[in-house]
């Protein structure tokens, strides 16, 4: 099993008025950067980098970074800068980008060069991942939503060709044109770094990932819709004549570990505090449905079973689809849908406790959806640096070793233990050397 660490890197500023359970909700593209303090931002960026270094020391196999734009819930607007820093200051952990918003790049050759350089600096520890992004990203970077899916696919094809085909060559595509393609910086890993695809809602993206044998990572979705989405991936693979297995399934889950049950609960409640985050159930803020439901983004009639989960549907402006899929009205009180802390605990959307109580809960999740890769989402919301460091220490000392044993028992092989394309067993896997 591959075990990674993740946090959104929220902008935590109690003085902004947007912080805490009683603070003002953040609305899509509705908060001025006048509220941003660069000095506080500097402290937070360094804090989050320090925590990732410590995560490596505690035995995590991977450090996951993501990307959002023009919002306080995620400071990762230029995740490749963070990735480049981690490439130099860490030694062992994979640097997992889930991922760059591919359709907003007007120059994917530049992205190909950036990622190749990160791969070289890390000496082959990059795992790259690309996302289509939400309407928020398209608007913030003046990318045309109707061409989102087309640009995603063409940029992907171009970058892979730039990494694997000796130059120079020309590229004459629908959205990108180059007279001269000959990037001098080529990836350390050959033919190119592993490519994983994260997502939540689109069947098109899942089918496309299966077409390429790319591992698909579900992002903190409820367990039953997650299992059904992996089944859809398996169906697509079977239709193409091959069998999907654990190396093709990844899962991001909110897990916080602490020294006592009381401290664990008090700290985990901070998931639903801090700046509003549409992807953190219980603290979602206000999502402008017209922004997240622009033409050309996820097809409204080709959605994963996660559309039946209010939190996932609301984050992407899909409440009409939620209503059709479930038969439930959407005009009730907001709190009926956002998911209280206790409700999330009950359905394992949040797992918290001491190592002794967390390990069996995590095991239940692993048994149910059988992922070969998992990422612990921690240190988010209103959690402090001290909160994060306590949890990371206990994960390294007790939880991760237990997960290694559980994964062996359940035969949960990662993409580094069994090749996603050939199905061949690999000899040197993270956590098993």
Please say if the pLDDT value at position 430 is more than 80.
no
Domain range list for the chain = 2-12+38-254+359-410
What tokens does 420 get?
A: 């996603």
Q: 331-385, pLDDT tens digit by residue? A: 544 444 567 899 999 999 999 999 999 999 999 999 999 999 999 999 999 999 9
**Residue 99: cis peptide before it, omega within 30 degrees of 0:** yes
What tokens does 286 get?
A: 């206000």
Among 12-26, 143-157, 388-402, 405-419, the least confident range = 12-26
DSSP string for residues in 184-207 = S---SSSS---EEEEESSBHHHHH
2-12+38-254+359-410 under CATH 3.40.50.2000, yes or no = no
Q: 46-55, pLDDT tens digit by residue? A: 999 999 999 9
How far does CA 16 lie from the centroid of its chain? 27
Name the CA dihedral angle for 310, 232, 197, 132, rounded to a multiple of 10 degrees: -60
Q: 262-305, pLDDT tens digit by residue? A: 999 999 999 988 888 888 888 888 888 878 878 887 776 788 88
- Give the residues across from 218 on adjacent strands: 199, 251
- In eight-state DSSP terms, residue 26 is P
Q: 200-238, pLDDT tens digit by residue? A: 988 999 999 999 999 999 999 999 999 999 999 999 999
Please say if the pLDDT value at position 433 is more than 50.
no
Asked if residue 27 lies in contact with residue 288, where contact means CB atoms within 8 angstroms, the answer is yes
Cα 330 to Cα 336: distance, rounded to the nearest angstrom = 9
């Amino acid at each position: 099993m591959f075990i990674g660490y993740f946090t959104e890197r929220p902008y935590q500023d109690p003085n902004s008025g947007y912080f805490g359970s009683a603070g003002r909700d953040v609305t899509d593209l509705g908060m001025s950067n006048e509220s941003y303090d660069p000095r506080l931002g500097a402290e937070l960026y360094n804090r989050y980098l320090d925590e990732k270094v410590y995560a490596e020391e505690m035995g995590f196999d991977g450090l996951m970074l993501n990307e959002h734009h023009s919002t306080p819930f995620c400071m990762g607007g230029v995740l490749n800068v963070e990735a480049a820093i981690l490439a130099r200051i860490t030694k062992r952990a994979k640097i997992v980008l889930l991922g760059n918003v591919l359709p907003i790049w007007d120059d994917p050759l530049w992205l190909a060069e950036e990622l190749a350089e990160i791969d070289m600096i890390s000496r082959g520890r990059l795992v790259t991942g690309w996302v289509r992004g939400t309407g928020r990203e398209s608007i913030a970077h003046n990318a045309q939503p109707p061409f989102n899916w087309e640009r995603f696919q063409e940029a992907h094809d171009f970058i892979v060709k730039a990494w694997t085909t000796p130059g120079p060559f020309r590229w004459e595509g629908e959205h990108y044109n180059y007279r001269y393609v000959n990037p001098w910086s080529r990836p350390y890993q050959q033919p190119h770094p592993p490519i994983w695809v994260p997502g939540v809602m689109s069947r098109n993206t899942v089918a496309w990932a299966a077409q390429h044998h790319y591992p698909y990572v579900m992002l903190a979705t409820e367990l039953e819709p997650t299992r059904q989405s992996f089944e859809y991936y398996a169906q697509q693979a079977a239709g193409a004549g091959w069998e999907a297995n654990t190396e093709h399934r990844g899962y991001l889950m909110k897990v916080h570990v602490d020294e006592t049950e009381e401290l664990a609960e008090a700290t985990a409640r901070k998931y639903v505090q801090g700046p509003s985050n549409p992807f953190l159930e219980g603290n979602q803020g206000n999502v402008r449905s017209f922004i997240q439901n622009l033409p050309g983004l996820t097809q409204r009639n080709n959605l994963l079973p996660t559309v039946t989960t209010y939190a996932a549907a609301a984050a992407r402006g899909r409440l009409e689809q939620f209503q059709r899929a479930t038969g439930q009205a959407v005009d009730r009180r907001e709190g009926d849908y956002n998911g209280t802390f206790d409700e999330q605990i009950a359905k394992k959307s949040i797992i918290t406790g001491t190592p002794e109580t967390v390990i069996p809960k995590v095991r239940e999740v692993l048994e149910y959806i059988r992922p070969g890769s998992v990422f612990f989402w921690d240190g988010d919301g209103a959690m402090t640096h001290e909160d994060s460091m306590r949890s990371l220490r206990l994960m390294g000392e007790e939880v991760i070793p237990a997960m290694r044993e559980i994964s062996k028992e359940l035969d949960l092989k990662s993409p580094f233990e069994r090749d996603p394309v050939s199905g061949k067993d690999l000899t040197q896997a993270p956590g098993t050397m």
